[in-house]
Amino acid sequence: MAAEGPSMAAEPAAEGAAGGTATGTEEAGVIFVLEKASLEVAKVGKTYVLLNCDDHANFLRKHGKDPALFRPDICHQALLAILDSPVNKAGRLKALYVATNRNTLIQVNPHIRIPRTFRRFCGLMVQLLQKLSIRATNGPDKLLKVIKHPVTKYLPPGCRRIGLEYSAQKVVHLRQFLKTTKLETLVFVVGPWPVVTSQ
């Protein structure tokens, strides 16, 4: 569902951002922003690891943190879904960004092949967050890189931003909403975190 509430309403990006809305010579596409992703590296024992609730619950509790909030597997699955999507295969995924809960912004190359297994994904994220970029093995292109905030300066000027929110008070059906939009590049903001309900 697409949220239309005050905090998640579609709004224009900051002026001076890179890119632009689709014109007759430029195909419209999609930009995804994964917001507040749980990607936090810490030294556990003698090794730096990507913290997750299954492997590091005791470590997290010892440091006063709720293990349920450490779910990098959700970010992993979201990235796989976006990169494997027909939108990306058709070349319509214009950009992909991950903003972590530690205030780190990551730019993801749409051509990257994210590891299918969670263990390898964790190792890749540890390497990225320590070295700040990951290059292709057969070329100079950076497949992952840490960039400066805010993400809005990388978005097309005047683009429509759509928030996907689990608990938004006012929502619309996404298919119906898209029928009302003009041919333009849309930015979808998704929160890859667990839904925690109170008992």
CA-nearest of 153, 149, 129, 133 to 141 is 133
pLDDT tops 60 at residue 8: no
Quote the CA–CA distance of 147 and 108 in Å, as a whole number.
10
Quote the CA–CA distance of 81 and 76 in Å, as a whole number.
9
Say how many residues make up the chain.
199
Q: What is the mean pLDDT of the chain?
A: 85
CATH number assigned to the domain with residue range 2-39+71-190, chosen from the 4 options 3.40.1280.10, 3.40.710.10, 3.30.565.10, 3.30.70.270: 3.40.1280.10
pLDDT tops 50 at residue 197: no
Q: Quick one: what percent of the chain has pLDDT higher than 90?
A: 66
Q: What is the pLDDT averaged over residues 125-151?
A: 95
> Lowest-confidence range among 41-50, 52-61, 142-151, 175-184?
175-184
Exposure pattern of 122-146 as b/e (b: 16+ CB <10 Å)? bebbbebbeeeebeeeeeeeebbbb
Q: How much is the pLDDT for 195?
A: 58
Q: Global pTM?
A: 0.82
Q: What is the pLDDT averaged over residues 178-184?
A: 78
For residue 170, give the DSSP letter: S
pLDDT tops 70 at residue 191: yes
Query: Which of the two residues, 119 and 138, has the higher pLDDT score?
Result: 119
pLDDT digit string, tens, across residues 46-86: 999 999 999 999 999 999 999 999 999 999 999 999 999 99
